[in-house]
Amino acid sequence: MATEQMDIDDSLYSRQRYVLGDSAMHRMANSSVLVYGLGGLGVEIAKNVVLAGVKSLTVQDPKNATMQDLGSQFFLRESDVSASKNRAEASSPHLAELNPYVSVMTMTQPLTCDSDLSYLSIYQCVILTECPLNVQRRVNEFCRAASPQIKFISTDVYGICGSAFTDFGDKFEVVDSTGEEPKDVLIGNITKANPGVVTGLEQAIHGLESGDVVAFREVKGMTAVNGRQFEVKVINPYTFSIGDTSSAEFGEYESGGMFVEVKITKEMSFEPLEKQIAAPSLLTPDLTKFDAPPLLHLGYLTLSQFIEQTGSMPKPWDNEDALKFIAMAKSINDSLSNKVENVDENMLGLISKCAAGCLAPLCAVFGGVVAQEALKALTGKFTPLNQWLLLDCREVVSSDASQFKPCGDRYDALRICVGNAFYQVLANAKLFMVGCGAIGCEMLKNYALLGISSENGKITITDNDLIEKSNLNRQFLFRPRHIQKPKSTTAAQATVEMNKDMKIEAHQHKVCPQTEETVYNDAFFENQSIIVNALDNVEARRYMDNRCVANQRALMESGTMGTKGHVQVIVPHLTESYTSQQDPTDGDFPYCTVKSFPAQLEHCIQWARDKFEECFVQNAQLFNKFVEVHPDIENIAQQLVSGNSIDGAVKVSKFLAQRPTSFADCVCQARLRFEKYFNHKAKQLLHSFPLDTKLEDGALFWASPKRPPTPIEFDSQEDMHMLFVITTARLLADVYKIQWTEQDTDRLHVESLLSEVKVPEFRPSNKRIVTDETVNKEDATPQEMSGDVIVLSGQRILQACQSNKNTAIHPVSPLDFEKDDDSNGHIDFISATANLRAQMYSIECGDRLKIKKIAGRIVPAIATTTAAVSGLVAIELIKVLAKAPMEQYKNCFLNLALPLILLSEPGPVQRNVLREGLSVTMWDKWEVRGSKDFTLQQFLDSLKQQFGFEATSACQGVKIVYMPFMPGHSKRLPMPMTKLLKPVAGQQYVDLVVSFEGDNDEDVPGPPVRYYF
């Protein structure tokens, strides 16, 4: 398929589309990029650009593969080194395999100051790596002189330092500076004043910044603001002003309305490289090293001059070259208009000594960041880097690095950076990683390049998922031929292909309480050097965190969501753990809001999602379970007719009464559901609460945020109406195992079937409608059924059995909601249902992509963020394995859209004082060693003797072992612990929760107590 015809609805790009949007995806699909230099950094950038889906990528490199390249270039193999193969030519087949829609081309000529640069004119973005500064200057001048201007990026990783520079020309338009989804915010008030002040309903946080633009709609009273745009001036998080609203044009605000942020195109201007060299605009990523960026910039300029003068990098850990380097840096600094005030000679010396090496995870960081900058250059989506990013990870350098001796293997570039002792620590590490998805694939690549487990160590990975097509554009170890194969075994095989020294054991188990005793027990955790999370949900993260705390193992935690990412370093006895901070919970909407009073599209989507579960999943599951437990259904019906209540019988009776036997029956049911959902429900609400209904305080019932519904009249000429009917009929047929063909779902055929459907008239009922937002679904659902309802249920079942005796109680097929298969009708049903409900309540409808994202709880994902986050994790992993001090660890939050990178020291673990001179943390665990006949009294005495506390209670999970004031517990004191705790055969210990008597006669919770039998 030609790139120009690429269907961006293809599931290959499904997660990325939520980040970039269709417009940006189209622009990328018509753009060409050049990446010069296919070392570790260049190939990382190229990989991410190909995965993103540009039209074409050209990789240019004059160098042949060397053994040292294998330590950072993951698409080179030892055979390429043996054959002296060109790096670009060796890598291009692997790059092309990543994405069938991208043309990958190769060039091998060098780029010099004498090169004819006219060939660059066909590219929209040029990215230079491993390129002399004077060549960078010349290429940058050419790109700026081109018409239209070519976007220019230069970037390098030299040892333990990295740099990136962007120049997108004199006038660069940013169409969406943040990429954040505009949110509808309900209005509480707008003052008629100069300036007019807007307040959100119930003091809602508006989330705006001064200079943002908002548009209003549905405002009553001050109707002049509707449909107009206003520039915002923020007053506080809850209010903002919009200019003069005091004139006669603006009426007094009465009620209702909402505002939404309007995305306004912004223009940015960039300076050329020549000017930025002398006066750089620097991003400060590390909050613990504010003085680092200017110093690193000086180091970068010095390195460029050193190479230009000597023709080579400074020799690894050569003191003479380091002294030359420092002297040269001081001279350059004197010539700069913006001088570095405090020239750190030690850091400059470190730059010199490590420059010939390459820390592969730093290539991943800059490869992710720079690739994202390239996408910005092509699309105008998100705010570009302005204009330098410089970062170092000096903390990974060990004291023995000065003893560096080359071994001639793939790890020399790493040894130059971290030293041989640290390399040995990595090679012998035992690592357990949970998850082999996007972050997991990137981490495995980093492990291969770092040589983790390459000698006496072992990597254990587990993931119980299979590979899907939508995984391919961000889980780069997988190819189309791997679809429906296990992620873990496939990823392990791909990693070993990168580095044959790797020792990887792949599992397909879920890490959860069910595998805690059999596979991933305490002994397993205690045998690991470090644990790495590559998970995508909070529940699993919390579980892993608890297991690591219980077994006192370091944990590397990370995650991504679109352009955002986080890294958390968790080290026993030093840092807080993942659960030390409360993660924000998913916002659940009040039951009555979703059920009867939606005010936003999200409420309608939740209602549609609930309807899917109720109609096609839960009711079918209930029916199958009921007939399995009660196979003699007619006998059950007789009991119901006699007035005997049976759990689930009422729902089952309705299910049986509506059971279709043909596709025409399914169409009939779908039409009746349309009438029930979008016509009768509205009429019932207006019957129960007429438009003039008032509350006890005299206020109108139908006031913002409540919206009165308008009944929808079915019209077969309306596409949305027919989409609902056809999709609902399809899904009903799937549940009831009714065969259907494409001809059955033909619109004209369905219209003919609809002409035969008799739609009942609306009849109002006295059913209570919940209006209290504090009432949940369980409380709102009546638990008791009247005798008449029970009898009617029995009659329905008997009637169904008599009319369809052979099929009435046959099992049905509950659906398994699948958001990524667009052919199954699941998202079509939810999209149609949500938009019809939105229409009924005069809420703005949503496009299918947005509804799919919300209904499927899809986490947006893009390869650039994943690469950057995984690189940061791997850098911290080196420090943890090397047992670095607390102040050297870095947590990170990043948002590549802004771009924002914040590195900071992890939060220290909290200490709880039990008494003066004795404090404990969440990492502490006390041990008591007993024997076969050890009694409860001896256990309590041991606690008193070892820790100086009188135990007031002891629990084993939810089981209370000892609590003095409970009846009969004093009689337990002489009983053996084995009898009280009942260990299974072979069990060596049990963890107990013990409380102690504090200074004020209050119970003090102590740390977990591990009792050994």
* Nearest in space to 149 (alpha carbons), one of 124, 129, 166: 124
What is the pLDDT at residue 656?
84
Instruction: With H, G, I as helix, E, B as strand and everything else as coil, classify residue 718.
Output: coil
* Nearest in space to 925 (alpha carbons), one of 996, 1008, 1013: 1008
- Residues with Cβ within 8 Å of residue 1012, at least 6 apart in sequence: 927, 928, 929, 930, 988, 989
Q: Residue 586 pLDDT > 60, yes or no?
A: no
Is the Cβ–Cβ distance between 99 and 271 less than 8 Å?
no
CA-CA distance, 461 to 436, in Å (whole number)? 7
Buried b (16+ CB within 10 A) or exposed e, 558-574: bbbbbbbbbbbbbbbeb
What is the pLDDT at residue 1?
31
Rounded average pLDDT over 577-601: 81
Q: What's the DSSP call for residue 381?
A: B
Instruction: With H, G, I as helix, E, B as strand and everything else as coil, classify residue 608.
Output: helix
Question: What is the CA 460 to chain-centroid distance, rounded?
Answer: 23
CA-CA distance, 708 to 691, in Å (whole number)? 7
Average pLDDT, the chain: 92
Rounded average pLDDT over 85-101: 97
Interval 453-485: pLDDT, tens: 999 999 999 999 999 888 888 899 999 999 999
Rounded average pLDDT over 275-294: 94
What is the pLDDT at residue 683?
97
What is the pLDDT at residue 999?
67
Q: Residue 292 pLDDT > 50, yes or no?
A: yes
Interval 710-742: pLDDT, tens: 999 999 999 999 999 999 999 999 999 999 999
CA-CA distance, 34 to 37, in Å (whole number)? 10
850 by Cβ neighbours in 10 Å (0-12 / 13-18 / 19+) ranks as middle
Is the Cβ–Cβ distance between 104 and 126 less than 8 Å?
no
Is the Cβ–Cβ distance between 317 and 418 less than 8 Å?
no
Among residues of the chain, what percentage have pLDDT more than 90?
A: 74
Residue matched to tokens 């912004």: 266
- Residues with Cβ within 8 Å of residue 27, at least 6 apart in sequence: 378, 379, 380
Residue 206: both structure tokens together: 């508006």
How many H helices and E strands in the chain?
Answer: 32, 33
**Residue 462's beta-bridge partner residues?**
434, 507
What is the pLDDT at residue 2?
35
Per the model's pLDDT, the better-predicted residue between 109 and 951 turns out to be 109
CA-CA distance, 224 to 898, in Å (whole number)? 34
Interval 186-240: pLDDT, tens: 999 999 999 999 999 887 889 899 999 999 999 999 999 999 999 999 999 999 9
Residue 993 CA neighbour count, 13 Å, CB half: 10
Rg (CA), the chain: 33
Could you please report the per-residue DSSP string of 118-156?
GGGGG-SEEEE-S--HHHHHHHHHHHHHSSSPPEEEEEE
Rounded average pLDDT over 23-39: 96
What is the pLDDT at residue 87?
98
Q: Residue 70 pLDDT > 70, yes or no?
A: yes
User: What are the residue ranges of helices labelled H in 841-910?
Assistant: 848-855, 863-881
Catalogue all structural domains in the chain, each as residue range(s) with its CATH number. 3-174 (3.40.50.720), 185-262 (2.40.30.180), 428-586+886-910 (3.40.50.720), 592-855 (1.10.10.2660), 912-1012 (3.10.290.60)
CA-CA distance, 38 to 134, in Å (whole number)? 19
What is the pLDDT at residue 190?
96
Rounded average pLDDT over 590-616: 94
Is the Cβ–Cβ distance between 622 and 652 less than 8 Å?
yes
Rounded average pLDDT over 881-905: 96
Q: Which of 657-666, 867-876, 927-936 reaches the highest mean pLDDT? A: 867-876
Residue 958: both structure tokens together: 């939810």
- Residues with Cβ within 8 Å of residue 77, at least 6 apart in sequence: 70, 90, 497
Q: Residue 490 pLDDT > 60, yes or no?
A: yes
Is the Cβ–Cβ distance between 1010 and 927 less than 8 Å?
yes
CA-CA distance, 436 to 458, in Å (whole number)? 16
* Three-class SS of 40-101: HHHHHHHHHHHHHCCCEEEEECCCECCHHHHHCCCCCCHHHHHCCCEHHHHHHHHHHHHCCC
| Identity of the amino acid at 116 | D
Give the pLDDT band (50/70/90) at residue 808: low
Residue matched to tokens 């491993």: 130
Show which residues are catalytic: 592
Neighbours of 19 (CB within 10 A): 26
Per the model's pLDDT, the better-predicted residue between 15 and 745 turns out to be 745
> Model's pTM, two decimal places?
0.90
Interval 365-423: pLDDT, tens: 999 999 999 999 999 999 999 999 999 999 999 888 777 888 999 999 999 999 999 99
- Residues with Cβ within 8 Å of residue 32, at least 6 apart in sequence: 54, 55, 56, 57, 58, 122, 123, 124
Give the pLDDT band (50/70/90) at residue 807: low
Q: What's the DSSP call for residue 117?
A: G
